């Protein structure tokens, strides 16, 4: 498995996995190096490796909250690759990259009725608030993590 910055050639596959963003905006995010892709670069077939035509199996997309705090907008992994540690590894590498870039915090959010909050809390994210976005029936929970490993208490 390979985790790398997305390239324009990956846009089509990413758009199939990430339906939360218009295509032109996705292109801007790729251009701004705010999208990472998880690629399965080969499959086993009779003991030989064969290149997949379109190996993108996961996407991590972020933006900057208040133009100062990296905000994870999307973490998506194809169903057949879930629960194998890839999401945790993608988050760890993204957080390490953000720390190397000089950021002190990262943020994300999830709907209160989704299971993602368990994943984020396991990774050290702390719920810091919530709100009801327009046309969303459940609360959106906001999460924050210090990249130095300390808690906010």
**Rounded to an integer, what distance in angstroms lies between the CA atom of residue 85 and that of residue 128?**
26
The pLDDT profile of the chain, 153 residues, written as one tens digit per residue, is 899 999 999 999 999 999 899 999 999 999 999 999 999 876 443 444 444 456 899 999 999 999 999 999 999 999 999 999 999 999 999 999 999 999 999 999 999 999 999 999 999 999 999 999 999 999 999 999 999 988 776
Q: What is the value of pTM for the model shown?
A: 0.88
**Rounded to an integer, what distance in angstroms lies between the CA atom of residue 36 and that of residue 96?**
13
Looking at residue 139, the DSSP 8-state letter turns out to be P
For the chain, how long is the longest CA-to-CA vector?
54
């Amino acid at each position: 498995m390979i985790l790398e910055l997305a390239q324009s050639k990956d846009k089509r596959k990413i758009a199939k996995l990430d339906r939360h963003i218009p295509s032109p905006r996705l292109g801007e995010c790729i251009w701004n190096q705010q999208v990472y892709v998880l690629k399965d670069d080969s499959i086993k077939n009779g003991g030989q490796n064969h290149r997949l035509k379109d190996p993108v199996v996961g996407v991590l997309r972020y933006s900057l909250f208040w133009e100062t705090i990296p905000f994870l907008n999307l973490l998506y992994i194809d169903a057949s690759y879930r629960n194998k540690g890839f999401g945790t590894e993608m988050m760890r590498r993204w957080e390490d990259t953000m720390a190397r870039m000089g950021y002190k915090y990262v943020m994300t959010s999830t709907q209160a009725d989704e299971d993602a909050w368990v994943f984020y809390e396991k990774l050290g994210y702390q719920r810091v608030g919530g709100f009801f976005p327009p046309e969303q029936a459940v609360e959106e929970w906001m999460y924050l993590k210090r990249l130095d490993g300390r808690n906010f208490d």
